Amino acid sequence: MSTSPSLTTTQESKEDADYNKLCEDHNHLIETIPKRNGWKEQHLYNYNGFWLNPHIIKNNLVVHTYFKSQSTDIFLASFMKSGTTWLKALMFSTLNRHLYSFSDHFLLHHGPHSTFPLLDFETHPITDFTQLPAPRLFATHFPRTLLPPLITSCKIVYLCREPKDVLISKWHFMCKLRPKDMPPLSLEEAFELFCAGISDYGPFWEHVLSYWRASLENPEKILFLKYEEVKKQPEVVVRKLAAFMGKPFTAEEVEKGVVEKIVELCSFGNLSNLEVNKNGVEKFGKVAAELGVDNRQFFRKGETGDWKIYLSEEMSQRIDGITHDKLKDSGLIIDPWY
């Protein structure tokens, strides 16, 4: 039976009214919550304990209101610049290994961010994801406390990285995206802001802890990974990912070297040298909030310990001290990974 036109119109106007209300709430919120200097926009706003730009706060409201998760969905959650690009490639190629040959793989022609959507850039009207086959993959940088409750019961892979490396990676990335009409962001300013927790999706430590604590309570639902462990033992991590996503490697696949092939396909050396990642542009979101970022910005050095070139002894000790204080009773160890 088809829906009558009047019913459709009523439904549409209800949706419009809901969305208008969301925008009003958002405007009111932005006027009332604390703001501080942003890294690539004028201000970041403290929304429920985390520093976000106004677009992302609005998108968070949109996701809460319109995104319908399915129990089989799998999320990749990470703090920005923790290696999301790499994990996206690894998760996508592991889960979909039956769909592509390694000689003509999707990832040879598309940037890793094209593999599955970043929920944070979903605006109204939200994309229809219902046609995607299960399990659907989504990425997010939202801390766990800002996710809609239904998502928190889905499987989540969380990727964490050493904070000094995150700071340096983020500073480089944000300097590239920062509009030319803003004064340059010095490393000293970025450092002070980072230490105070003020950077997109920060504070870093609270972000990591939001997933770490949940992973202790529910290890079957949250796979907590560290960038440094992926660097050290990528094959072990790929096997973990496959099992976690419900698609463990068969003995035959292992015998044929499928794990090693995935690792090689997604390696920094391979991906960063592909034409699509040297000269392609990644589009995030759609319509007004669409953001285009050159793929090459997601591939800088891909190393651990690059902070040593940039941070003084005093700066590194200050971040280590914060990390120690914030994590001390959590059981999470970040420092001696390499």
Asked if 190 and 313 count as a contact pair (C-beta separation under 8 A), the reply is: no
Q: How many other C-beta atoms are found inside a 10 Å radius of the C-beta of residue 195?
A: 19
What Rg value do the Cα atoms of the chain yield, rounded?
Answer: 20
| Chain residues 174-193 in contact with ligand A3P, contact rule CB under 6 A | none
Give yes or no for residue 169 binding ligand A3P (CB under 6 A).
yes
266 forms part of the interface with ligand A3P (CB under 6 A): yes
Through-space distance between the first and last CA atoms of the chain, rounded to whole angstroms: 63
Site map for ligand A3P, 118-157, x if CB under 6 A?
Answer: ----------------------------------------
Number of residues that bind ligand A3P (CB under 6 A): 21
Between CA 225 and CA 158 the distance in angstroms is 6
Q: Are 228 and 82 in contact (CB under 8 A)?
A: no
Beta carbon nearer to ligand A3P, 100 or 284: 284
Q: Quick check: bond before 184 cis, omega within 30?
A: no
Nearest to 140 by CA among 296, 272, 285, 293: 285
- Tell which one of 271, 276, 311, 322 touches ligand A3P (CB under 6 A): 271
Q: How far is the CB of 165 from ligand A3P (least distance, A)?
A: 6
Q: Identify which range of 130-138, 263-271, 281-289, 330-338 contacts ligand A3P by CB under 6 A.
A: 263-271
Residue 165 sits in the site that holds ligand A3P (CB under 6 A)? yes
Q: What minimum distance in Å lies between the beta carbon of 19 and ligand A3P?
A: 30
Using CB under 6 A, which residues numbered 67 to 96 contact ligand A3P? 78, 80-86
Q: In terms of CB distance, is 83 or 143 closer to ligand A3P?
A: 83
Please report how close the Cβ of residue 59 comes to ligand A3P at its closest, in angstroms. Answer: 18
Q: Active-site residue 141, yes or no?
A: yes
Choices 21-29, 50-58, 120-128, 296-304; region in contact with ligand A3P by CB under 6 A: 296-304
Q: Map residues 2-41 to x or -, x wherever contact with ligand A3P holds by CB under 6 A.
A: ----------------------------------------
Closer residue to ligand A3P (CB): 37 or 267? 267
| Closest to ligand A3P by CB, 61 or 242 | 242
Closest to ligand A3P by CB, 59 or 169 = 169
How far apart CA 211 and CA 145 sit, in angstroms, is 9
Strand (E) or helix (H) holding 46 = strand 43-47
Give the containing element (helix H, strand E) for 284: strand 281-284
Minimal distance in Å, beta carbon 110 to ligand A3P?
Answer: 14
Residues 298-327 close enough to bind ligand A3P by CB under 6 A: 298-302, 306
Cβ 234 to ligand A3P, closest distance in Å? 9
> What is the per-residue burial (b if ≥16 Cβ within 10 Å, else e) of 215-229?
beeeeeebbbbbbbb
Nearest by Cα to 54 from 304, 288, 279, 295: 288
In order of 53, 113, 178, the CA distances from 293 in angstroms are 17, 10, 12
Q: Which of 117, 142, 162 is nearest to 316 (CA)?
A: 162
CA distances for 190 relative to 151, 170, 297, angstroms: 32, 9, 18
Beta carbon nearer to ligand A3P, 82 or 199:
82
* Chain residues in the site for ligand A3P (CB under 6 A): 78, 80-86, 165, 169, 172, 266-268, 271, 298-302, 306
Q: Which residues carry out catalysis?
A: 141
